[in-house]
Amino acid sequence: MSIKRDIPVITTVAEMHAWVANQRSLGHTIGCIPTMGYLHDGHASLIREASARHQSVVISIFVNPTQFGPSEDFERYPRDLDRDLSVVAEADGSIVFAPTVDEMYPNGPQSTIHVDGVTEMLEGALRPTHFDGVATVVSLLFEAMLPDEAFFGQKDLQQTLVIRRMVESSPIAAVRRVKITIMPTQREADGLARSSRNVYLTKEERALAPAIHQALIAAVNAITSGERSREVLEALMLRKLQTVDRFTIDYAVAVDAQTLLPKETYDQDDTVALCIAARIGRTRLIDNELIGVTG
Ligand code: AMP
C-alpha cells in the first residue's frame, strides 16, 4: 500500500518567495524541476534525483505560450494537474508551482532573453522563437523559485546548452547562482523516449515511433565500431528512418556535442551528438544520443 501525501500547489510568485524563505529558515536547500506538466517517468526521474539531493523540491508546471510557434500545439498541449500531483507525490517532490500566464507575464511578454550561437541550428533553425521563449521563462522561473540546483533532461539536448549559457551569462545574481544538472533520457521498453507528446500518437504511429531510437543506436554502434565520418553516420540514420514512410524527417545529424556544429570527421576525445527530429501524423518527436569517440 502506498500512502500519498497531498502536494501543495502555489500559484503566485509572492507565495513562492514566502515558501522559499521558510524552507531556507529551516536550513533546507532547494532543488527545482521546470516542466510543462503532463508528467511521466522522465520527469519523475528528475524529481527523484532532486529529492535525493535537497530537502525541498519544487516542480513548476507551466505551459509557456512564448516557446510555441504560431502553428504549434500550445492549445492542445496535454494538461492534467491532478494526475501530475500524484506523480510528484510518488517521486517525493515537496510542492508544485503552477502560475497562470498573467502571473508570469503581468505586462505581457515584453522583454526577451536571447542566447546567441547555440540557439541557431537544429530546433532553433526550425522554430525561430522557441529558445527565446525557453531562456526567458526559465530565467523568470528561477527568479520565482530561487533554487540552488535545477534539473533538466538530456532528451532536450539543445535546450540544456541554451540554459547553461543563459545561466552563465545572466545579469541576475539569483539566476547565475543556480547549478544546472542534466539527467539521462528515460525511455519506454522499446526505446521510445518518454514525452508528454507521445499521448498524441495513434496506435499505429506508436508502433512505428521506436524507429527513431533504433536509428540513433545504429549510429552509436557504427561509432563504436570505428566509423568517424559525419556523412556516413547521417546517411545511416536517414536510411533507418526512411524505412518508415510515415515519417517526415526534420533532421538526422551527427554534430559536435559542445557546439552542435558539424565536423567532417570526429576525432579522439570528441563527443558526438546524434540528433533526430521527425514528424509522424500530428506529432513531432525529438531524440538524441551522446557518444564519446575513443581510439
Ligand atoms: P517538458 O515538460 O517536456 O518541458 O520537460 C521538462 C523537463 O523534463 C525537461 O528538462 C525535459 O528535458 C525533461 N524530460 C522530458 N522528457 C524526458 C525524458 N524522457 N527523460 C528525461 N528527462 C525528460
In this predicted model, what pLDDT tens digit does every residue of 211-254 receive, in sequence order? 999 999 999 999 999 999 999 999 999 999 999 999 999 999 99
- pLDDT band at residue 4 under the 50/70/90 scheme: low
Q: Is 131 helix (H, G, I), strand (E, B) or coil?
A: helix
CA–CA distance, 278 with 50 (Å, rounded to integer): 31
Residue 1 pLDDT > 70: no
> What topology is assigned to 196-292 in CATH?
Pantoate--beta-alanine Ligase; Chain: A,domain 2 (3.30.1300)
72, 155, 285: residue to mutate for ligand 1 pocket, most atoms within 8 A of CB: 155
Q: Is the CB of 156 under 6 A from ligand 1?
A: yes
* Pocket of ligand 1 contains residue 67 by CB under 6 Å: no
List the residue whose alpha carbon is closest to atom 5 of ligand 1.
Answer: 35
Rg of the chain on CA atoms, in Å: 20
Task: With a cut of 80, say whether residue 269 has pLDDT above it.
Answer: yes
* Closest to 46 in 3D by CA, of 190, 160, 133, 136: 160
Q: How far is CA 32 from the centre of its chain?
A: 14
- The model carries a pTM of 0.98
Q: Which atom of ligand 1 is nearest to the CA of 156?
A: 12
- Long-range contact set of residues 104-107: C-beta below 8 Å, sequence gap at least 24: 104/62, 104/64, 104/137, 104/140, 104/141, 105/66
Whether ligand 1 lies within 6 angstroms of the CB of 35 is answered as: yes
196-292 and 9-183 share a CATH fold: no
Distance 43 CA to ligand 1 centre (A): 6
pLDDT tens for 63-115 read 999 999 999 999 999 999 999 999 999 999 999 999 999 999 998 878 999 99
Question: How far apart (Å, rounded) are the C-alpha atoms in residues 57 and 90?
Answer: 13
- Alpha carbon nearest to ligand 1 atom 14, residue: 153
Q: What is the pLDDT of residue 192?
A: 98
pLDDT for 108 equals 85
> Which atom of ligand 1 lies closest to the CA of 152?
10
CB atoms under 10 Å from CB of 91, counted, come to: 21
Three-class DSSP labels, 53-103:
HCCEEEEEECCCHHHCCCCCCCCCCCCCHHHHHHHHHHCCCCEEECCCHHH
CA 264 to chain centre: 28
Question: Cell 550561437 sits at which residue?
Answer: 117
Average pLDDT over residues 28-44: 98
Give distance in angstroms: CA of 184 to centre of ligand 1: 10
DSSP assignment of 177-245 equals T-EEEEEPPPB-TTSPBP-GGGGG--HHHHHHTTHHHHHHHHHHHHHHTT--BHHHHHHHHHHHHTTST
Q: Is the CB of 54 under 6 A from ligand 1?
A: no
Give the residue numbers annotated as catalytic, written as ranges: 43
Domain ranges of the chain: 9-183, 196-292
- Provide CATH code, domain 9-183: 3.40.50.620
149-184 confidence digits (pLDDT tens): 999 999 999 999 999 999 999 999 999 999 999 999
DSSP assignment letter at 265: B
Q: Does the Cβ of 48 fall within 6 Å of ligand 1?
A: no
Burial of 17 (0-12, 13-18, 19+ CB in 10 A): middle
- Among 156, 195, 289, say which to mutate for ligand 1: greatest number of ligand atoms within 8 Å of CB: 156
Bridge partners of 247? 280
